[in-house]
Amino acid sequence: MKQVRAWGFDYLKLDFLYAGALPGKRHVDMPRETAYRHGLKIMRAAMGADAFLLTCGAPILPSLGLCDALRVGPDVSGKWEDPRDAVLLYNPTTPGTKNAIRTTVNRLWLQPLVMTDPDVAYFVETENSLSAEQKQLLQDLAIVCNFKATSDLPQWMTPAQRAALRGFLTLDPNVQRLDHSKFKLDERVVDFSCALSLPNPPTGATKIQAALIGWLGNQPLALKMLKRMDDLSLQRRKKNLEKKE
C-alpha cells in the first residue's frame, strides 16, 4: 500500500476481500471476522488516512470504519437479467443490472456509515443489450448514491454518448427519498421497484431442466466443455470488436 501511494495513487480499490475471511489456517489463530478486519486495518494504516479506499466483494460490517466506500451489490452487466442464472439456477446474486439495482437499493441504509458504490453506469450500445430506460435507472441510482462511474471505452462512444456522460458527471440534483424504492431528483420522480422483485423458483419442466443443469455444473467434463465454449465465444467477440474499432 505504501508503494502504491508512492506511485501517486490516492484512490484505491481492493476487490474480492471476502477471501480474507474464508475458513483456513492462519498465522495467528483468531476468528475469521477478526482476521479480516485485522488485515484491513494494516492496509488502511499503510495507505494513510488521506487515501480514498473503496472495498469490493467485502463483508459489510467488518469493513465499516476502515473504508470510505463499499460496493454494496453484484457487478452490473450489459444484460438486465440472465435467464440461466435467474430461472434455471435461481441465483439472484450473479452479475446483472437488475440484481445490482435490487441489492443496492436494499442497502442504501448504509449511507450514513459509508459511501455506497452501485457499480458503473452505461452509455454505449456496444456489447450492451440494456434499453435506454434501464441505462437511465443505473445512472439515476449512481446519482442517488452520489457515486458516479463508468467503464465504457471512449472509442465505443458516439459524440452524443460522450455528451450524455459529461452531463451525467456534472449533474448535481437535489435528491429526496419518497419511499423505499422511489426518489425525487429535483422535479423528476425515479422508481426502482421494477428491479426489486426476485425471480420465481422454477416449476414443472423448467424445474427438471434446472436440476439437470445443476447436476452438470458439478461434472468436470461438462465444466471443461463450457469453458471451451466460453473461450471460443470470447475470441469471436474480440475479433468482432477489433473489426468495429
Distances, alpha carbon 220 to alpha carbons 125, 216, 226, 231, in Å = 36, 8, 10, 16
pLDDT of residue 213: 83
Collapse the DSSP code of 240 into the 3-class scheme (helix H, G, I; strand E, B; otherwise coil) and give the result.
helix
Q: What is the CA radius of gyration of the chain?
A: 20
Q: Does the pLDDT value for residue 60 go beyond 90?
A: yes
Q: Please report the DSSP string for 71-119 in residue order.
A: E-SPPP-SSS--HIIIIIS--TTSS-HHHHHHHHHHTGGGTTTSEEE--
pLDDT of residue 109: 96
Q: What is the Cα–Cα distance from 194 to 182, expressed in whole angstroms?
A: 11
Burial class (CB in 10 A: 0-12, 13-18, 19+), 93: exposed
Of 81-85, 150-154, 174-178, minimum mean pLDDT range: 81-85
Q: What is the Cα–Cα distance from 188 to 175, expressed in whole angstroms?
A: 10
Q: Which three cell numbers stand for residue 11?
A: 484512490
**89 vs 179, more confident:** 179
What mean pLDDT value characterizes the chain? 93
Q: What is the Cα–Cα distance from 211 to 92, expressed in whole angstroms?
A: 17
Q: Does the pLDDT value for residue 31 go beyond 70?
A: yes
Mean pLDDT of 223-240: 88
Q: Does the pLDDT value for residue 242 go beyond 90?
A: no
**216 vs 117, more confident:** 117
Q: What is the Cα–Cα distance from 109 to 193, expressed in whole angstroms?
A: 16
Of 2-6, 37-41, 229-233, minimum mean pLDDT range: 229-233
Q: Does the pLDDT value for residue 171 go beyond 70?
A: yes
Q: Does the pLDDT value for residue 134 go beyond 90?
A: yes
CB atoms within 10 A of CB 132: 7
CB-based contacts of 183: which residues, under 8 Å, 6+ apart? 140, 144, 175, 176, 177, 189, 190, 192
- Name residue 7's amino acid: W
Q: Does the pLDDT value for residue 244 go beyond 80?
A: no
pLDDT, one tens digit per residue, over 138-166 is 999 999 999 999 999 998 899 999 999 99
Q: Sheet of 115-117: strands edge to edge? A: 11-14, 52-55, 69-71, 115-117
Closest CA to 168 of 134, 202, 136: 136
CB-based contacts of 222: which residues, under 8 Å, 6+ apart? 216
Q: Does the pLDDT value for residue 115 go beyond 80?
A: yes
pLDDT of residue 245: 66
pLDDT category at 202 given cuts 50, 70, 90 is: confident
Mean pLDDT of 206-228: 87
Q: Does the pLDDT value for residue 64 go beyond 90?
A: yes
Mean pLDDT of 191-219: 89
β-strand pairing of 182-185 with 175-177: antiparallel
